[in-house]
Amino acid sequence: MSEAHAEDIKKHVRTYIMVFVALLALTVVTVAISTLHLSTFAAVTVALIIAVIKGSLVASYFMHLISEKKLIYAVLVLTVVFFVGLMFLPVGAFSDKITMP
């Protein structure tokens, strides 16, 4: 294994440790905020923003998405489109007045 390559990996390792600390800190923050018992809308918004940040950190650094091939991004874009579609299904269900008694 070449020297430059090993140096690269060591740099990665330092990043992993920083991401780890960030994930722990964000976990503490989200639990602390939940004890404030905010209104449902505010609580959901804050909790989801923190979860998205944590999820992005895991996907970007641990799953190496920050430097991945185009095809993987293409697969994920398609996945996100369908995922968003799934999340909007309940909206469709509730706007369907025919099923309301």
Partner 1 sequence: MQIPYTVELRSDTGLFNAKLGVWLFLASEVMLFGALFSSYVLLRVGAEHWPHGWEELNIPLATLNTVVLISSSVTMVMSWASLKLNNFKKYKMYMGLTILCALIFLVVKAFEYGHKFEIGHLPGTSTFLAIYFTLTGLHGLHVIGGIILNGYLWGPGSKMWQSAPDRFTNRVEVAGLYWHFVDLVWIFLFPVLYLL
Residues that bind partner 1 (CB under 8 A): 1, 5-6, 9-10, 12-13, 16-17, 19-20, 23-24, 27, 30-31, 34, 37, 40, 43-44, 47-48, 50-51, 54-55, 58-59, 61-63, 69-72, 75-76, 78-79, 82-83, 86-87, 89-90, 93-94
Answer for the pair 50, 26: CB distance below 8 angstroms, yes or no.
Answer: yes
Specify the amino acid at residue 39. Answer: S
Which residue's entry shows tokens 């639990």?
A: 31
Residues in contact with 46: Cβ distance below 8 Å, sequence separation at least 6, in sequence order: 30, 33, 38
Least Å from the CB of residue 21 to partner 1: 10
C-beta closer to partner 1: residue 82 or 98: 82
Answer for the pair 26, 54: CB distance below 8 angstroms, yes or no.
Answer: yes
Least Å from the CB of residue 5 to partner 1: 8
